[in-house]
Amino acid sequence: MTPTSLNRKALILFSGGQDSASCLAWALTRFEHVETVGYAYGQRHAIELECRETLRRKISQLLPDGVRKLGDDHTIDLASLGTLSETSLTRETEISLNENGLPSTFVPGRNLIFLTYAAALAYRRGIKHIVTGVCETDYSGYPDCRDDTIKALQVALNLGMEQRFVLHTPLMWLDKAQTWRLCDEIGGARLVEIIRRDSHSCYKGDRTHKHDWGYGCGNCPACQLRAEGWRRYQESL
Ligand code: ZN
């Protein structure tokens, strides 16, 4: 593989949530070939995974050359992660704050594991750029979403695999309102509408209750963050 073609391929960590859907749109405007990867780890909100194909189809059809650029979708089974961690994302327990101040939705090391698997996949697929929607501006306090964590992991992956991967975090310094604005800049009101309707953030996997910001239970931390971001975005218009 030539360096030129290597530089134009990206792999997106794509859960089907608002952030990863925004990252897919972002990547389709910057790279020539874009693949997606999702993880099944026994999450209660596995409905996210079902939203993925709808989002891939609609977003790629909307953006210039999107259909041509969009490559394979990969799903990796990480059921062992769900059995290792007793959290509110993988068990039917209340979502609350733990003694250490982290929400009970925290799956220890989840993003480290996701990115490491993504890098192994990217290695095999000849892909240099890895894109993840982690964010430390407007987040749930997960330490593995922090900029320093991602930068340290990039170094570790490149040393450990003898590669020059670049981990991209286009949402790192954006709050949720700014993420909606980014989507408006990329694909206008139509992209905002696709992500509002078809992406899924609710930790409880609720797609029966419809709100102005999308579907969800309306009460879990992910719904509250999304509702608040949408409200601030609407106020800024
Ligand atoms: Zn919810």
**Model's pTM, two decimal places?**
0.90
Share of the chain above pLDDT 90, in %: 70
Q: Which residues surround ligand 1, an ion (CB under 5 A)?
A: 202, 204, 216-217, 220, 223
3-class secondary structure, 168: strand
The answer, yes or no, to whether residue 116 has pLDDT greater than 70, is yes
| CA 86 to ligand 1 centroid distance, Å | 19
* DSSP at 106: -
Which residue did the predictor score with more confidence, 141 or 146? 146
| CA 225 to ligand 1 centroid distance, Å | 10
| CA 47 to ligand 1 centroid distance, Å | 12
What is the tens place of the pLDDT at every residue in 50-91?
A: 799 999 999 999 999 999 999 999 999 988 887 776 555 555
Q: Kindly tell me the number of DSSP H helices and DSSP E strands found in the chain.
A: 9, 7
What is the tens place of the pLDDT at every residue in 174-218?
A: 999 999 999 999 999 999 999 999 999 888 889 999 999 999 999
What is the tens place of the pLDDT at every residue in 210-225?
A: 999 999 999 988 899 9
Q: How far is Cα 106 from Cα 86, in angstroms, rounded to an integer?
A: 9
Could you tell me which residues come within 8 angstroms of residue 141 by beta carbon, excluding any fewer than 6 positions away? 101, 102, 103, 106
Residue 166, beta-bridge partner list: 129
